[in-house]
Structure 1
């Protein structure tokens, strides 16, 4: 091994923190340099990365509807080339369930020429609401991330050949989770887009610059002509609190989550 990499898509920051905590601890334990690669903004996903058998790559993504974000999946499939590199698959989830996202990410990495040596699913505050897993990842989660990294480092040190793919629960070909409202019926908010409170907005343009899909018009941030994936980055990053969703189906789904998924979930790791 010559280098540890942290590669991540992170709209609200949870995956960034998780992946870099694991990768940073790995680098420290292995005595290797660390390089960070954000895969979040459109321009950041234009470059292709070719790794080698001398690299250990921690790749992370949040869970959207029980799987990897579907609009970003093609970038993970075509821009990262393993060429025999070892990989650690990491997903985050907002206290409901990671369902099939970890299995899907492992499958993508193995299909891209990586050898998955470990995998983990970690809880983070839900993007939609602070009522679910507020404050996570916290210090105890970080402790678990570092312990996970130390176990990976120990495993890597003993390898004499490419490892068998890490085994994780889930089906990478399973359908997406169907969000439901408080009435128990499917909540259809695919076309919902963030609104702007013009009395609060200063038109600073941060939301347009940070949008992972480039969906917001930088000349008029109240206009969202592009595809919105409901990642909540514009909501979370607006320092004036000017962005919000008012779609009834979306809000009903959020309320359902708050009513049914308050019980703290545990992180899960696989080696």
Structure 2
């Protein structure tokens, strides 16, 4: 296969990155290629517009937020230029549902000049939780990712290489998922922000460096200078577990999804 293989992703806690790189590296392995890694998780990376050509194949991954592509990424995604490149959109969700995220990402890439030849929805540990989809993607997920890559490679070298791909979802796209309380009332967590336990914080600044929005103040990590997407990066990567959420509505929603969606969901692959 005469294509340059690219892995492009937004991955605050590393779960999307793990799947995207596994797929891209396996495809590249068949022809002895190396993968170009394009990580646009941090703010500085999103200041640079990225373009491809018809000689490229891009495995493109984003997490699912409220059942959709993260709206904070839409402005950046609008700067992409596919120019006929092949694309494999991959969404990763926390075991609840990916709703319309996969069809939305497919549509975005197609609108920017990519030709989608496969797509997938994988599961990763939920950004709010350490028990919902704990430690996923796991070994079973990685085996599926490798098998998916092999199927993509075979498709690209077969008679149906450019066959359109069906991805489930609503057109027009559905609304963003809204958490509900036990009484059925909407829970608004958009303005919820993490707190810092100053008694255990060692002021290592790691939380400020890994925040995808660049919102945590490096001089005073207890302060936010921008929005919080609840991506979990500052909490899950803190070496002393100094970051946490204490908003009652957020905690109610977290507990609710940990119970309701505890049953394991499996990846879904789309190749035709």
The TM-score range, normalised by the shorter chain, is over 0.9
Query: What's the CA shift for 1:174?
Result: 1.6
Aligned counterpart, 1:114: 114
For 1:234 and 1:160, locate their aligned partners in 2 and report how far apart those are by CA, in whole Å: 44
Which consecutive aligned stretches of 4+ in structure 1 deviate over 2 angstroms post-superposition?
Answer: 30-33, 158-161, 181-185
Q: Relative to structure 2, which stretch is displaced further, 150-159 or 171-180?
A: 171-180
Aligned counterpart, 1:9: 10
Q: TM-score w.r.t. structure 2 length?
A: 0.95
Report Cα offsets for 1:37-83 as digits up to 9, x if no partner.
Answer: 101000011111111111110000010000011111221221x2110
1:258 aligns with 2:258: yes
1:105 aligns with 2:105: yes
Aligned counterpart, 1:151: 151
Superposed, 1:40-51 pairs within 5 Å as: 40-51=41-52
SS at match of 1:190: coil
SS at match of 1:207: helix
Aligned counterpart, 1:270: 270
Structure 2, unpaired ranges of 5+: none
RMSD over aligned CA atoms reads: 1.3
Checking the alignment, whether the CA contact within 8 Å between 1:182 and 1:255 is kept in structure 2 is: no
For 1:253 and 1:75, locate their aligned partners in 2 and report how far apart those are by CA, in whole Å: 29
For 1:159 and 1:214, locate their aligned partners in 2 and report how far apart those are by CA, in whole Å: 46
Superposed, 1:51-62 pairs within 5 Å as: 51-62=52-63
SS at match of 2:90: strand
Distance of aligned partners of 1:166 and 1:203 in 2 relative to their CA distance in 1, 3 Å threshold: same
Superposed, 1:1-271 pairs within 5 Å as: 1-78=2-79, 80-158=80-158, 163-171=162-170, 173-271=173-271
Query: What's the CA shift for 1:32?
Result: 2.5
For 2:242 and 2:163, locate their aligned partners in 1 and report how far apart those are by CA, in whole Å: 49
SS at match of 2:265: coil
Report Cα offsets for 1:83-108 as digits up to 9, x if no partner.
Answer: 00000010111110111000000000
SS at match of 2:71: coil
Q: Relative to structure 2, which stretch is displaced further, 7-16 or 185-194?
A: 185-194
Distance of aligned partners of 1:160 and 1:140 in 2 relative to their CA distance in 1, 3 Å threshold: closer
Structure 1, unpaired ranges of 5+: none
Q: TM-score w.r.t. structure 1 length?
A: 0.96
Query: What's the CA shift for 1:164?
Result: 4.5
Query: What's the CA shift for 1:165?
Result: 3.7
Aligned residues: 269
For 1:204 and 1:113, locate their aligned partners in 2 and report how far apart those are by CA, in whole Å: 42
Checking the alignment, whether the CA contact within 8 Å between 1:115 and 1:164 is kept in structure 2 is: no
Report Cα offsets for 1:104-132 as digits up to 9, x if no partner.
Answer: 00000000100000000001111111221
Checking the alignment, whether the CA contact within 8 Å between 1:4 and 1:34 is kept in structure 2 is: yes
Checking the alignment, whether the CA contact within 8 Å between 1:58 and 1:90 is kept in structure 2 is: yes
Q: Relative to structure 2, which stretch is displaced further, 201-210 or 58-67?
A: 201-210
